[in-house]
Amino acid sequence: MMLRGRKGKYAPWALTLRLAGAQGVVPIITHILLDEDIEAQAPKGRDLPRITQKEMGTGKLNQGPSQAGTAGIGRADFCTSLPLAPLGSPTCLDKARLVTGLRTALSTLPVASDPPHPLPISEGGGESGREEGGSGRLGFIKAAGPALPARPRRLDPLRCPPPHVTAPTTSSTASPLAMALFGALILTLLAGAHAELPGCKIRITSKALELVKQEGLRFLEQELETVTIPDLRGSEGHFFYNISEVKVTELQLTFSELHFQPDQELVLQINNASWGLRFRRQLLYWFFYDGGYINASAEGVSIHTALQLSRDPAGRIKVSNVSCQASVSRMHAAFGGTFKKVYEFLSTFITSGMRFLLNQQICPVLYHAGTVLLNSLLDTVPVRSAVDELVGIDYSLLKDPVASTSNLDMGFRGAFYPLTEANWSLPNRAVEPQLQEEERMVYVAFSEFFFDSAMESYFRAGALKLSLVGDKVPHDLDMVLRASYFGSIVLMSPAVIDSPLKLELRVTEPPRCTIKPSGTTVSVTASVTIALVPPNQPEVQLSSMIMDARLSAKMALRGKALRTQLDLRRFRIYSNQSALESLALIPLQTPLKTLLQIAVMPMLNERTWRGVQIPLPEGIDFVREVVTNHAGFLTIGADLHFAKGLREVIEKNRPADTRDPRTSSAPPPSTAAV
């Protein structure tokens, strides 16, 4: 069929293809420009629909009822042949050039979900019927002449391609950018889903840095005093000089600042420091020789060093990098003796050389102190260690420390485990502890998971049971129990009646800890078994009951140990057999509660009061702690106290193969500034 505009000019038409895909029917709109050669092939004597220039506006095309978005504007060549070539054939498609420059066989388009509908015909007649609406957009096209008889419906080539046409197989591929974004999203979701929550968090605030700086500068002064400057030799004309045995006699760090910095963790800035030096001089001029010792001073010493903290593969905190910049502004040497004038003449060469050598020695010393000596101190922080003979604790660092301008946050696993099952771990479904305070030097937060893993580890290790036999049972309780079960005991043989009494308490499921702003409680469910134990005979059970107890827990920090004090708050026993038997057990409530308070609770508190070590280096303790309960976790704020000096701890834990910093093969990250 041939389409033509008014006055013999071919107008652009909007061709709408309705394609059915996974997302429903999608309108695809483009412009088609009819060529002169197509008109020659049009059938004669058939009136064609006409369209006005007003209806040719490109602002709004016939986009269907949805009036969807903006259609692409461009040029496309439409090919038609009589008789019509099968859609999708190379004869037609090779001439169809879409705006986007792509060539797509129609036979490869998805099959439409609905059969194509004939174009609706308006009833107004003429062109004015379409222009009266004044909408300015293309509407329904009506016939220009009398209605033609209905033609037989042709098979839709999109739905029923001819048998000789084989639809090519194409693979739908997304753009690399979309695939990359999709992959990044999936990885992010998977990482978030499997990210392990910390059971213990530690925050070191800027208030602690003043104390750390005092102890650190003392250690740094001792390290810088060991700087060894190589000999300096040279000549000027007939003068030959040699400077040797340079030693640091005095070090004054006038102004220093230690602060947190994001991405660098810990930064130390020293300005306007001064050094006192003493060295041996030797001068040779022809046959004249002079020697002796000279005192010198280096002034305006500036040092900028930054420590990068990270997590090593074992989960231990380490100093992974040390960047350093050092400079000496000026140097002065006080010469004397017979050749004083000569030395003053050579002082420019001598002091410049010594200043250069001193600059080159500062950063290697600091690099060695950070990567070797400080790491030996951090090695004293426990990672996986035994708490007692039954359980251990895992303080592995889950990720690199995070520094802000005011604090340094570290997240530890904080999980107990039985020593017989070192690879066992309890899933952490507790609330992640949050640290907001900054008033104290250090804050430690523990979630419910920390305490739950401890109690489940002891439960799996078989430690949560108690058996009292014979004299171990309090005398008053023995009498009450025998009186309560007198009816059962009397019916037994005489050899059994006088047998020792046995009372066994066994926790049936791991206890659970609940932390609320009002306090911390521990819920325990245990079985209580009362039996007689005849000598050389099987024991005879008198009764078995269930005990529910609720303990209150108070936490405290002493030194580096987290200690717990337990107190029995609620207690009840009941039978799992019948309600009637539960009523009969009411008289035993008070004696058994007394037994727990007198015999059991002291044993528990003896163990819990020993405490569990907090992941801090050796020689540092907590003082003046304050405990605050939150919903699902608790925080303990405290100040720090150096029980031992850094030098003492480092010398105790110094690696045996520590090399001289001057011979270290690892260069400092930043060379000294001259």
Compute the distance between CA of residue 227 and CA of residue 220 in angstroms, rounded to an integer.
11
Q: Please tell me what DSSP assigns to residue 388.
A: S
Q: What angle do CA 333, 671, 351 make, to 5 degrees?
A: 10
Q: Is residue 622 packed enough to be buried (19+ CB in 10 Å), middle (13-18) or exposed (0-12)?
A: buried
- Integer Cα distance of 486 and 493 in angstroms: 13
- β 402-403/442-447 pair status: unpaired
Q: Which of 99-103, 147-151, 230-234, 453-457 has the lowest mean pLDDT?
A: 99-103
pLDDT at position 184 is: 61
Show me where the domains of the chain are located.
Answer: 1-146, 229-381+646-663, 384-642
Q: Region 175-186: what's the mean pLDDT?
A: 65
pLDDT at residue 641 tops 50: yes
Strands 612-613 and 561-574: antiparallel
> What is the C-alpha end-to-end distance of the chain, expressed in Å?
88
31 pLDDT exceeds 60?
no
Q: What is the DSSP letter of 305?
A: E
Which pLDDT belongs to residue 494? Answer: 75
Which range has the top average pLDDT, 61-65, 171-175, 281-285?
281-285
Cβ atoms of 524 and 468 closer than 8 Å: no
DSSP character at residue 179:
H
What distance lies between CA 110 and its chain's CA centroid? 45
- CA angle 315/321/325 to nearest 5° reads 160
Task: Give the lowest-confidence range in 150-154, 202-206, 560-564.
Answer: 150-154
pLDDT tens digits for 535-558?
888 888 888 889 899 999 999 988
Residue 507's pLDDT is: 94
Residue predicted with more confidence, 321 or 1 = 321
**Which one is predicted more confidently, 472 or 177?**
472
**Coil, strand or helix: which one is 469?**
strand
pLDDT-based confidence at residue 498 (cuts at 50, 70, 90): confident
Distance CA 220, CA 639 (A): 23
129 three-state secondary structure: helix
Q: How many CB atoms lie within 10 A of CB 667?
A: 10
Residue 288 has a pLDDT of: 73
What mean pLDDT do residues 526-533 have? 88
Q: Over the stretch 363-383, which tens digit does the pLDDT of each residue have?
A: 898 999 989 999 999 999 989
CATH topology of domain 229-381+646-663: Bactericidal permeability-increasing protein; domain 1 (3.15.10)
> Bigger pLDDT: 261 or 582?
261
Q: What pLDDT, on the 0 to 100 scale, is given for residue 9? A: 42
How would residue 196 be classed by pLDDT, with cut points 50, 70 and 90? confident
Per-residue pLDDT of 319-334, as tens digits, reads: 999 999 988 888 887 7
Give the mean model confidence (pLDDT) for residues 145-157.
50
* CB burial of residue 447 (10 Å; 0-12, 13-18, 19+): buried
Alpha carbon distance 230, 227 (integer Å) = 10
Half-sphere exposure of 535 (CA within 13 A, CB side): 3
d(CA 340, CA 333): 11
Residue 512: which pLDDT band, with cuts at 50, 70 and 90?
very high
pTM above 0.85, yes or no: no
Query: 317: which strand partners?
Result: 311
- Is pLDDT larger for residue 432 or for residue 6? 432
Contact indicator for 594, 568 with CB cutoff of 8 Å: no
Does the pLDDT value for residue 534 go beyond 80?
yes
Of 224-233, 423-432, 442-451, 455-464, least confident by mean pLDDT is: 224-233
Model confidence at 571: pLDDT above 60: yes
**Per-residue pLDDT at 404 exceeds 80:** yes
pLDDT tens digit sequence for 120-143: 444 444 443 343 344 444 444 444
Predicted local distance difference test score (pLDDT) of residue 80: 38
Within this chain, domains 229-381+646-663 and 384-642 share the same CATH topology: no
d(CA 279, CA 267): 32
- Cα torsion angle, 648, 654, 656, 657, sign: negative
Share of the chain above pLDDT 70, in %: 66
Quote the CA–CA distance of 457 and 354 in Å, as a whole number.
62
Radius of gyration for the alpha carbons in the chain, expressed in angstroms and rounded: 45
Please compute the mean of the pLDDT values over residues 241-250 and round it to a whole number.
82
pLDDT at 38 over 60: no
Smallest CA-to-CA distance from 312 within 324, 321, 299, 301 is with 321
C-alpha span between 647 and 533 (Å, rounded)? 61
CA gap 290, 101 in Å, rounded: 91
384-642 has which CATH code? 3.15.20.10
Listed ranges 119-133, 230-244, 330-344, 376-390; the one with the highest mean pLDDT: 376-390
**Whether pLDDT at 22 is above 90:** no
